């Protein structure tokens, strides 16, 4: 228990993607069988294994070729950038061409293939090779008639390779009902990789599958692979899983009005957006806006177009006031155009993968993804889109897909990918009063409170604009109906304004009248008050005079104070008497 | 013994020195029983059918492995007829005399063979 378990040592192939599937490479020190039908890339696979071993991992290699001469081989792989002659000169590679011509050989009794062993051994020892390619020993079956000897010698050979400790690749042609024509898989059983190329709808897709890997786990699916000027690349994109990070950062859609519908900030960065609509609803323009805004921010973008050439897109977008050419020249934008029927689905995926890896875009637009449909069944396309979506999410790029759907079937034909995407914007045409107008609405946008409104979508010479639509008795009003309605509204507004002004004036007038009345009454009141005070003053003066007179009279008569009260009585209280 | 090679004489005389009619190389790998067997068989056949008009070179690939590629040696033992041209290869321990003779393009000499 204290001993740490050592996993199977592996020899990395350096082939893009394969080392990920096999979790590190081929079993080190053991033979691996690569089988497949003619032209599926077996030899190339083996050569790449040797070349990368020599260049990247400092493991020299020996190539025993039974079919092609060393010169042919070197020529064939030169187009992939492999310089075999240079490698041979620098003692990184030995190529030995072994051939048997049955017509010049007579078999007379017992023999073995010791010569092959000796040659192989000499080649391995001459450069201390760590890797060996045998391509393909099955050719021996054509040259030698004693298959019993051949079989036992091949068995011995593979055992010998193991003892020698070299990591070997043995290729074999696919047979009827068996992996290889002569049953090499019986002898090489540590690791078996199957290459395949299939024609589907006139397009070829290459696939690779690790059939068997003794002592190691491995990806079991069929993985598409590509042979191009960089050699082989395998795409382990089937099972990326849902582990991508979720960004809270936002990215503008390039259309301010649309951003406003999405909480004012646009999409989530790293999310995937689907725009569906029937023909001519402006899907491409929306994609172009998105790309354009990314480039304005200095981000990188890729536009995959399945319908238009780069030139055409640039010209067309100029008509809505967008200059994409400058971004292309600046290297920020890459427009990749290819007919969907040019390759198989997988090939498209691989090409996209490649571009995404080399260009590292922040924004990717695929226009339209529905064009891929004829390239495979709906299931295939859905799987493809799933892979693209997953891959984009993992790389943190924001994906923008457009899809064409039929006018009368707006939601179902979205390739059933709508559940894969985070935001879904629907564009539709509406035909009313002899016009065709475009409508836009946000069907879903995960993780944000998006607008539920339908907007009219306008393509102006300054880009896309969104307008409020009017709800009329016959549905929403768009186009000239909307314009007429807007004019109506404007008129009504003016009228209302005038009415308000009139009423204001009337009220002000009556108010003033009242105020005037108030002023008059106040004046009257003041007059009355004056009158009152003056009257009271006179009365008081009279009273004083009268009292003084009475006093004077009393004094003159010599009356006492007591009598005063009596004398007062008739003056003050007349009513009581 | 001579009449059997009439057709060959002209042919080889044109291309090579007339002295040696058959130039043979036997490739072996060490002193294995099979190698020794092949060597013994070769000696017998040469003496019986080539009338001394031959040269045999024995190459041990264990000692000179680099020589294997030149003659495209794969099976051991292999007998290569380098002269007369074109080159021919006979693999195996040479125990089937008739086949060896066919391989070397030597007609069995009456009296020594079936007649």
pLDDT one-digit tens code per residue, A1-15 = 445 677 788 888 888
**Kind plus residue range of the DSSP H or E element containing A536:** helix A479-557
The reported pLDDT for the residue numbered A413 is 53
Chain B residues with beta carbon closer than 8 angstroms to that of A148: none
CB-based contacts of A222, cutoff 8 Å, min separation 6:
A196, A207, A208, A209
The reported pLDDT for the residue numbered A394 is 81
Chain B nearest-CA distance from A66, in A, is: 11
The reported pLDDT for the residue numbered A561 is 54
Chain A nearest-CA distance from B94, in A, is: 5
A111 to B66: CB separation less than 8 angstroms, yes or no: no
Residue A487 half-sphere exposure, CB side, CA atoms within 13 Å? 5
For residues A287 and A306, give the distance between their C-alpha atoms in angstroms, rounded to a whole number: 13
For residues A106 and B92, give the distance between their C-alpha atoms in angstroms, rounded to a whole number: 9
Q: How is B6-19 classified by DSSP, letter by letter? A: HHHHHHHHHHS-TT
SS3 A508: helix
Q: Is A224's pLDDT higher than 60? A: yes
**Kind plus residue range of the DSSP H or E element containing A545:** helix A479-557
The reported pLDDT for the residue numbered B114 is 44
Chain B residues with beta carbon closer than 8 angstroms to that of A105: 88-91
Q: Residues A507-535: what's their mean pLDDT?
A: 93
B99 to A106: CB separation less than 8 angstroms, yes or no: yes
Chain A nearest-CA distance from B19, in A, is: 25
Q: A141, A150 in Cβ contact below 8 A?
A: yes
For residues B41 and B109, give the distance between their C-alpha atoms in angstroms, rounded to a whole number: 17
What would the pLDDT profile of A139-194 be if each residue is shown by its tens digit? 888 888 888 888 888 889 989 999 999 999 999 888 777 788 887 777 777 889 99
Compute and round to an integer the Cα radius of gyration of chain A. 48
For residues B60 and B63, give the distance between their C-alpha atoms in angstroms, rounded to a whole number: 6
Q: Given CB atoms, is A147 within the 8 Å cutoff of chain B?
A: no
Choose among A5, A427, A361, A43: nearest CA to A232. A43
Q: Is A573's pLDDT higher than 60? A: no
Would you state the structure tokens that stand for residue A452, as one six-digit string?
């539920």
Distances B63 to A73, A96, A275, B59, B81 between C-alpha atoms, Å: 30, 19, 74, 8, 21
For residues A393 and A404, give the distance between their C-alpha atoms in angstroms, rounded to a whole number: 23
Q: Is the backbone peptide bond immediately before B86 cis, with ω within 30 degrees of 0? A: yes
Backbone CA torsion sign across A158, A162, A165, A171 = positive
Residue A509 pLDDT grade (very low, low, confident, very high; cuts 50, 70, 90): very high
Q: Is A513's pLDDT higher than 90? A: yes
Would you state the structure tokens that stand for residue A423, as one six-digit string?
């935001």
Q: Given CB atoms, is A246 within the 8 Å cutoff of chain B?
A: no
Q: Residues A334-351: what's their mean pLDDT?
A: 80
The reported pLDDT for the residue numbered A365 is 92
For residues A187 and A31, give the distance between their C-alpha atoms in angstroms, rounded to a whole number: 9
Backbone CA torsion sign across A155, A160, A163, A165 = negative
Residue A186 half-sphere exposure, CB side, CA atoms within 13 Å? 11
A109 to B96: CB separation less than 8 angstroms, yes or no: yes
B103 to A106: CB separation less than 8 angstroms, yes or no: yes
What would the pLDDT profile of A376-385 be if each residue is shown by its tens digit? 677 777 777 7
Q: Is A576's pLDDT higher than 60? A: no
Choose among B17, B55, B64, B56: nearest CA to B39. B56
**Beta bridge partners of residue A195, listed in sequence order:** A208
Would you state the structure tokens that stand for residue B7, as one six-digit string?
């057709």
What would the pLDDT profile of B50-81 be if each residue is shown by its tens digit? 777 888 888 888 888 888 888 888 888 888 88
Residue B14 pLDDT grade (very low, low, confident, very high; cuts 50, 70, 90): very low
Residue A348 pLDDT grade (very low, low, confident, very high; cuts 50, 70, 90): confident
A104 to B88: CB separation less than 8 angstroms, yes or no: yes
B95 to A109: CB separation less than 8 angstroms, yes or no: yes
Chain A residues with beta carbon closer than 8 angstroms to that of B92: 107-111
B75 to A108: CB separation less than 8 angstroms, yes or no: no
The reported pLDDT for the residue numbered B6 is 37
Task: Name the pairing type of β-strands A463-468 and A455-460.
Answer: antiparallel
* Out of A369-383, A491-505, B64-78, B92-106, least confident range: A369-383
* Out of A13-22, A121-130, A153-162, least confident range: A13-22
Q: Which of A65, A104, A107, A115 to mutate to test the interface with B (most CBs of B within 10 A)?
A: A115
φ, ψ for residue A88, nearest 5 deg: -65, -40
Residue A180 CB-density burial (10 A; 0-12 exposed, 13-18 middle, 19+ buried): buried
What would the pLDDT profile of A288-325 be if each residue is shown by its tens digit? 999 999 999 999 999 999 888 999 999 999 998 889 99
Choose among A195, A215, A218, A193: nearest CA to A207. A195
A497 sits in the region (left: phi over 0; alpha: psi -120 to 50; else beta) called alpha
Choose among A274, A199, A194, A273: nearest CA to A234. A194
* Out of A287-291, A337-341, A417-421, A494-498, least confident range: A417-421
Residue B110 pLDDT grade (very low, low, confident, very high; cuts 50, 70, 90): low
Chain A residues with beta carbon closer than 8 angstroms to that of B86: 104
Q: Is A574's pLDDT higher than 60? A: no
Residue A524 pLDDT grade (very low, low, confident, very high; cuts 50, 70, 90): very high
* Out of A342-356, A386-400, A426-440, B52-66, least confident range: A342-356
Would you state the structure tokens that stand for residue B41, as one six-digit string?
């068989």
A64, closest residue in chain B (CA to CA) = B69
What would the pLDDT profile of A102-114 be if each residue is shown by its tens digit? 777 888 888 888 8
For residues A51 and A61, give the distance between their C-alpha atoms in angstroms, rounded to a whole number: 8
Least CB–CB distance from B75: residue in A96, A104, A112: A112
The reported pLDDT for the residue numbered A473 is 60
For residues A506 and A19, give the distance between their C-alpha atoms in angstroms, rounded to a whole number: 89
Q: Is A243's pLDDT higher than 70? A: no
Chain B nearest-CA distance from A116, in A, is: 5
Task: Name the pairing type of β-strands A222-228 and A250-251.
Answer: unpaired
Chain A nearest-CA distance from B74, in A, is: 4
Q: Residues A354-361: what's their mean pLDDT?
A: 85
Would you state the structure tokens that stand for residue B48, as one six-digit string?
């019986």
B66 to A114: CB separation less than 8 angstroms, yes or no: no
Q: ∠ at Cα A98 (A133, B74), nearest 5°?
A: 110
Tokens 């836009």 correspond to A440
CB-based contacts of A441, cutoff 8 Å, min separation 6:
A425, A426, A452, A453, A454, A455
Distances A535 to A526, A530, A532, A569, B78 between C-alpha atoms, Å: 14, 9, 5, 25, 165
CB-based contacts of A182, cutoff 8 Å, min separation 6:
A138, A141, A147, A172, A175
Question: Alpha helices, DSSP H only, in A344-463?
Answer: 345-359, 378-395
Distances A497 to A494, A502, A509, B4 between C-alpha atoms, Å: 5, 9, 18, 132
What would the pLDDT profile of A22-67 be if each residue is shown by its tens digit? 888 889 999 999 988 888 888 888 999 999 999 899 999 999 998 8
Of all residues in chain A, the percent with pLDDT exceeding 70 is 90
Tokens 């071993």 correspond to A53
Residue B12 pLDDT grade (very low, low, confident, very high; cuts 50, 70, 90): very low
For residues A398 and A400, give the distance between their C-alpha atoms in angstroms, rounded to a whole number: 7
Residue A544 CB-density burial (10 A; 0-12 exposed, 13-18 middle, 19+ buried): exposed
Least CB–CB distance from B92: residue in A96, A108, A119: A108
A104, closest residue in chain B (CA to CA) = B88
User: From start to end of A286-381, where are the E strands?
Assistant: 301-305, 333-337, 363-367
Long-range contacts: B96-100, Cβ < 8 Å, 24+?
B96/A108, B96/A109, B97/B41, B97/B44, B97/B45, B99/A106, B99/A107, B99/A108, B100/A106, B100/A108, B100/B41, B100/B45
CB-based contacts of A170, cutoff 8 Å, min separation 6:
A31, A32, A33, A34, A133, A134, A135, A136, A137, A158, A184, A188
Q: Residues A197-224: what's their mean pLDDT?
A: 80
Q: Is A242's pLDDT higher than 60? A: yes
Residue A520 pLDDT grade (very low, low, confident, very high; cuts 50, 70, 90): very high
Q: Is B3's pLDDT higher than 60? A: no
Mean pLDDT of the residues in chain A = 83
Which residue did the predictor score with more confidence, A516 or A198? A516
* Out of A128-137, A350-359, A465-474, B85-94, least confident range: A465-474
């Amino acid at each position: 228990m204290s001993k740490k378990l050592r996993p199977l040592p592996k020899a990395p192939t350096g082939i893009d993607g394969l080392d990920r599937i096999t979790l590190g490479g081929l079993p080190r020190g053991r033979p691996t069988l690569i089988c497949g039908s003619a032209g599926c890339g077996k030899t190339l696979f083996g050569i790449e294994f040797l070349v990368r071993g020599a260049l990247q991992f400092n493991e020299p290699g020996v190539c025993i070729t039974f079919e092609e001469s060393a010169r042919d081989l070197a020529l064939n792989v030169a187009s992939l950038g492999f310089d075999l002659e240079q490698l041979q000169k620098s003692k990184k590679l030995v190529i030995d061409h072994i051939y048997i011509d049955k017509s010049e050989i007579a078999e007379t009794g017992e023999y073995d293939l010791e010569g092959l062993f000796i040659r192989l051994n000499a080649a391995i020892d001459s450069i201390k090779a760590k890797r060996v390619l045998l391509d393909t020993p099955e050719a021996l079956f054509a040259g030698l008639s004693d298959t019993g000897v051949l079989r036992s010698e091949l068995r011995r050979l593979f055992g010998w390779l193991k003892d020698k400790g070299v990591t070997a690749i043995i290729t074999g042609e696919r047979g009827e009902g068996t992996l290889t024509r002569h049953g090499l898989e019986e002898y090489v059983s540590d690791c078996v990789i199957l290459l395949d190329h299939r024609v589907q709808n006139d397009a070829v897709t290459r696939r690779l599958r690790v059939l068997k890997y003794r002592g190691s786990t491995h990806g079991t699916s069929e993985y598409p692979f590509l042979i191009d000027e960089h050699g082989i690349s395998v795409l382990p994109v089937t099972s990326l899983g849902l582990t991508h990070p979720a960004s809270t950062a936002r990215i503008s859609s390039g259309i301010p009005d649309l951003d406003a519908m999405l909480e004012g900030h646009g999409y989530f960065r790293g999310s995937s957006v689907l725009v569906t609509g029937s023909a001519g609803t402006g899907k491409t323009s929306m994609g172009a806006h998105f790309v354009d805004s990314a480039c304005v921010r200095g981000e990188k973008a890729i536009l995959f177009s399945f319908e238009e050439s780069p030139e055409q897109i640039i010209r067309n977008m100029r008509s809505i006031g967008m200059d994409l050419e400058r971004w292309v020249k600046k290297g920020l934008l890459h427009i990749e155009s290819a007919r969907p029927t040019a390759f198989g689905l997988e090939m498209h995926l691989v090409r996209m993968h490649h571009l995404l890896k080399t260009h590292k875009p922040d924004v990717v637009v695929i226009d339209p993804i529905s064009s891929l449909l004829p390239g495979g069944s709906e299931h295939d396309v859905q799987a493809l889109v799933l892979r693209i979506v997953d891959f984009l999410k993992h790389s943190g790029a924001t994906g923008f897909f457009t899809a064409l759907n039929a006018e009368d079937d707006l939601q179902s034909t979205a390739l059933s990918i709508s559940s894969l995407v985070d935001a879904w914007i629907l564009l539709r045409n509406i035909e009313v009063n002899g016009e065709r107008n475009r409508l836009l609405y946000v069907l879903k946008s995960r993780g944000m409170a998006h607008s539920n409104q339908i907007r009219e979508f306008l393509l102006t010479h300054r880009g896309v604009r969104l307008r409020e639509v009017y709800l009329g008795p016959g549905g929403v009003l768009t186009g000239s109906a909307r314009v007429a309605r807007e004019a109506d509204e404007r008129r009504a507004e003016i009228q209302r304004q005038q009415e308000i002004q009139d009423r204001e004036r009337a009220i002000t007038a009556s108010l003033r009248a009242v105020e005037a009345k108030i002023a008059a009454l106040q004046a009257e009141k003041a007059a009355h008050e004056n009158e009152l005070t003056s009257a009271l003053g006179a009365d008081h003066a009279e009273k004083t005079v009268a009292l003084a007179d009475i006093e004077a009279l009393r004094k003159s008569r010599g009356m006492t104070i007591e009598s005063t009260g009596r004398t007062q009585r008739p003056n003050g209280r007349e009513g009581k008497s | 013994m001579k009449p059997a090679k009439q057709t060959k004489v002209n042919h080889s005389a044109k291309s090579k020195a007339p002295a040696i009619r058959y130039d043979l190389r036997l490739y072996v790998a060490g002193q294995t029983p099979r190698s020794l067997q092949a060597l013994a068989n070769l000696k017998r056949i040469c003496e019986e059918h080539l009338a001394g008009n031959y040269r045999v070179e024995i190459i041990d690939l264990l000692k000179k492995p680099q020589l294997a590629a030149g003659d495209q040696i794969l099976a051991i033992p292999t007998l290569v007829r380098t002269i007369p041209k074109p080159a021919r290869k006979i693999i195996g321990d040479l125990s089937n005399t008739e086949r060896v003779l066919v391989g070397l393009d030597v007609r069995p000499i009456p009296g020594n063979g079936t007649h």
